[in-house]
Amino acid sequence: MSHIPHLINGEHVTGQGRSAAVYNPSTGEAIRQVPLADDATVQLAIDAAKAAFPAWRNTPPAKRAQVLYRFKQLLEQNKDRICQLISEEHGKTVEDAAGELQRGIENIEYACGAPEVLKGEYSRNVGPNIDAWSDQQPLGVVAGITPFNFPAMVPLWMYPLAIACGNCFILKPSERDPSSTLLIAELFHEAGLPKGVLNVVHGDKGAVDALIEAPAVKAISFVGSTPIAEYIYSEGAKRGKRVQALGGAKNHAVVLGDADLDNAVSALMGAAYGSCGERCMAISVVVAVGDQVADALIAKLVPQIQALKVGAGTSCGLDMGPLVTAAARDRVVGYIDDGLKAGAELVVDGRNLRVAGHEDGFFVGGTLFDKVTPDMRIYQEEIFGPVLCVVRVNSLEAAMQLINDHEYGNGTCLFTRDGEAARLFCDEIEVGMVGINVPLPVPVAYHSFGGWKRSLFGDLHAYGPDGVRFYTRRKAITQRWPQRATHEAAQFAFPSNG
């Protein structure tokens, strides 16, 4: 069994002490061992980043961008290898992995524009012989803690832009599927990134706490569950760190009676069951406005769910692979059991799915509940699996109230042909990312990603313009060069340009 190393100061570092198994979720077999860093290993990465920072912050942004351009090219050249590793350790289909990687590459393309996005503002003669300007300066050593469900894309939301802004970065990826993340970081070094600018440290809560507690780490980005997001935000903020912590979701899709049902169903199938539902933007609740809409939706959904092609993610032509771990599978099955006990109507049951040749894999089939009510756990909590719940309401206003009352506010969408309804929904819904006839409204790289309420802790969203703001701090400079032949008396009133 192979052992995965840390990447510190441009070199592989063998883990000492504790380790964890990495599984192939399609077979249930342990295929690799990943080290779980102790405090000393985390400190090695911090020291490497601190040492690299002075030279990197003074590297012209255009030269930083040149490294990013080469990095992008290497990712495109190694796409098949990266996607195979993602699928092998996460379980998602290779086609889904390719889509994930491409969205990550788009964030590198945005970061390549660093010379433009880092330009400050300049004002001449704000007062007599006085000029003023602003400068966006890097923070120093920053860190990212990323989830298992997007081992390529989410890290690429973070460190390309942070590094383009002149920071040095420590990445703590998920210990469940770290190989693709490590390979991508190695390719960044192959592109010419100086040693110490990007470091990858594997680990669990111990490594996370070490990053939070380290005074040298000035900012932390996180994507994961809400309890951990809240923990990282509170612990980091009280130590004076800048924190953006993206948490969980319970994303609703509202379907009105005038919607194109065939297109809505196709969209819902991909949004609910793509990546086996292991997406923070997955649609897990359909709010059908009217019983007629609900009945028609279910009639169209059932045969498509039953026809889902499920198998080993590394195979081509599939719709869905396994869940990431046995614990994840058992958790999803537990939610299905709980929904039945609570009185929801189980229309399609995915609990007993078996994939020939992969009987020990962590599979759950597409599952559909009808007549779900807001008091049920399957409605309230993030299941993170291939389970879609149908809730019935009588009006758009009731649907919106349902969404606004939920503790999460990550993503939502509305299926309709009614422009007035769409505008009302966009204006009044208390959710950070909204789609109209778009089921997964993930913003493009030059916008920013983030939810509302308990889906985001911190003031700034991920990547895009908010990412630049997060990874830099503004310095305002006011400069005066008096004329040589003049002498001015002291002024005791507060200065102004009046």
**pLDDT tens digits, 414-472:** 999 999 999 999 999 999 999 999 999 999 999 999 999 999 999 999 999 999 999 99
164: pLDDT strictly greater than 70: yes
Q: Report the pLDDT value the prediction gives residue 497, as an integer from 0 to 100.
A: 64
Using the predicted structure, report yes or no on whether residue 88 has a pLDDT greater than 90: yes
Q: Give the residue with greater pLDDT, 257 vs 488.
A: 257
Kindly report, residue by residue over 396-412, the tens digit of the pLDDT: 999 999 999 999 999 99
Residue 270 has pLDDT above 70, yes or no: yes
pLDDT at 494: 80
pLDDT of residue 489: 76
Cα 356 to the center of its chain, rounded Å? 33
State the chain's mean pLDDT as an integer: 96
With a cut of 80, say whether residue 488 has pLDDT above it: no
Active-site residue (options: 276, 280, 389, 413)? 280
> Domains in the chain, please, with CATH?
2-247+455-477 (3.40.605.10), 251-436 (3.40.309.10)
Q: Would you state the pLDDT for residue 316?
A: 83
Cα atoms found within 13 Å of the Cα of residue 418, Cβ hemisphere only: 15
Give CA–CA dist 298/136, Å, rounded.
52
pLDDT tens-digit series, residues 179-201: 999 999 999 999 999 999 999 99
Backbone φ/ψ region at 343: left (φ over 0), alpha (ψ -120 to 50), beta: left
pLDDT at 314: 83
Per-residue tokens: 31: 């295929």
**Residue 214 confidence (pLDDT):** 98
Confidence of residue 485 (pLDDT cuts 50, 70, 90): low
Annotated catalytic residue 280:
yes
Dmax (CA) for the chain in angstroms is 91
Asked if residue 329 has pLDDT above 90, the reply is yes
Q: How far apart are CA 52 and CA 55, in angstroms?
A: 6
pLDDT tens sequence across 232-251: 999 999 999 999 999 999 99
Which of 68-82, 95-109, 262-276, 305-319 has the least mean pLDDT? 305-319
